[in-house]
Structure 1
Amino acid sequence: MRIHLSSVFVDDQDKALRFYTDVLGFVKKHEVPLGADKWLTVVSAEDPDGTELLLEPDGHPAVRPYKEALVRDGIPAASFAVDDVGAEFARLRGLGVRFTQEPRETGPVTTAVLDDTCGNLIQIIHGG
């Protein structure tokens, strides 16, 4: 069994697509109109046939309180592996990305947490 698809709930799919591609460096895999929303996925530029991330609309009534609670408590909605947290932190900070946690070593891993501008905190991680 493998993970084929995972998702993050976003408040604006177009804004999310710009952030996840132009800033984080993912590439668009699928964009299929579904009424007012889309089936919109991105993948790692390094693994275009790998796990897809669905940029899922957060319109369900349960989603926004859930997202707000996670952000309020500092809990990331997703975690993305990077080769060098410090370098990625510097690159993203240079692009204006807001971090809620600067790079931190915790045992064998280094993490940082950023705001994806779409209502989520995202962790970047290396090691483990």
Structure 2
Amino acid sequence: MKIYVTSVLVDDQEKALDFYTRKLGFQKKHDVPVGEYRWLTVVSPEQPGGVELLLEPDVHHAAKPFKAAMKADKIPWTSFQVDNIEQEYERLKALDVEFTQPPMPAGNVKIAVFDDSCGNLIQIMQLSEQE
């Protein structure tokens, strides 16, 4: 068994696609109409056959309050690994990505947290040299 897809709840699929591709650098993998919404996934260009991230509409009645509570408590929805967190932080800041937490050590990793502009906080992390 392996993980095929995971999701992030977004308030606007088109806005999310723009952010996750143009700013984060992911590539669109699937874009299939499903009624009013789409099965819309992105993947890392480093692993195009890897785990897909579904940009899932936050239309369920529990989604928006849950997302708001997570954000209010400063809890990231998910985490993406980067090779050089300082470099990625500077690249994303230059693209006007808003960070709520600049890079900082956290045990054996370095982390930073940004707002994905779609209702979520997202963490990026870099493994320590020992990992």
Normalized against structure 2, the TM-score is what?
0.96
What's 1:57 paired with? 57
What's 1:80 paired with? 80
1:20-77 Cα shifts (integer Å, max 9, x gaps): 0000000000000112100000000110000000000000000000000000000000
Q: Which amino acid in structure 1 is aligned with residue 126 of structure 2? A: H
Report the CA distance between 1:107 and its aligned residue.
2.1
What's 1:112 paired with? 112
Q: What do you get for the CA RMSD once the two structures are aligned?
A: 0.7
Alignment of 1:1-128 (within 5 A): 1-127=1-127
1:63-99 Cα shifts (integer Å, max 9, x gaps): 0000000000000001000001111000000100000
Distance 1:107 1:76 in 2: 17
Distance 2:38 2:117 in 1: 19
Q: Which amino acid in structure 2 is aligned with residue 37 of structure 1? A: Y
Q: Which amino acid in structure 2 is aligned with residue 123 of structure 1? A: Q
Instruction: Report the count of equivalent residues.
Output: 128
Question: Which ranges of structure 2 fall in alignment gaps of 5 or more residues?
Answer: none
